[in-house]
Amino acid sequence: METVLKTKTVSEELGVNPTTVQRWVRHFNIQCDKNDHGHYLFRQEDIEQLKKIKTQLDQGLLMSDIQISTFKMEGQTMELPIEFDDKFERLEAAITALEKKIEEKADAVVSYQMLQHAREVEDLVKKMELMEFRLQDLEVALLKKSHTEEVEYVKPKHKKNWFVSLFTL
């Protein structure tokens, strides 16, 4: 029968806090068995994997940069061949290149849309300026028209000739 250890024992062996061990298990998706109370039970393969993680962290790597080259399938832990690592690296590089192309394409689309909107705004500004000039012309024309009507309305009566007015008295 294979020996299984609890989180506290594993944490003491690794020299870290038990919650750190639990965090690593969740972060790296280590397939540990659990007892009836939901506590992790670690086999020797799991402990070796945790030791590799601790070593990489001690070397200054971030958790997101740590590479785990083993996986567990139906209770068996298998070491991935180096050729798989190479394939994964090439696949990751291809995905990164595709993501970069998508970002560039998205940037190009956004730039094009911004230029279109800028042109539309310029057109609207020109139309508004034209409308403003026309409105001013209409105001001037209305003022002239109303002024001439006032002048026509208040026209003074023709004065009679002063000589004629002397005799009409």
Give the Cβ contact number of residue 97 at 10 Å.
10
Q: What is the DSSP code (8-state) at residue 16?
A: S
- The pLDDT, as a whole number, for residue 155 is 56
- Alpha carbons 47 and 39: distance in angstroms, whole number: 15
- The pLDDT, as a whole number, for residue 16 is 93
- What pLDDT digit, counting tens, does each position of 50-90 carry? 999 999 899 888 888 887 765 555 555 555 555 677 788 88
- Alpha carbons 56 and 67: distance in angstroms, whole number: 9
Q: Greater confidence, 147 or 6?
A: 6
- For the chain, the average pLDDT equals 82
Comparing 10-24, 53-67, 69-83, 126-140, which segment has the lowest mean pLDDT?
69-83
Architecture of the CATH domain 5-80? Orthogonal Bundle (1.10)
* pTM for the structure as a whole: 0.42
Longest dimension (CA), the chain: 150
Mean pLDDT in residue range 36-52: 90
- Alpha carbons 87 and 143: distance in angstroms, whole number: 83
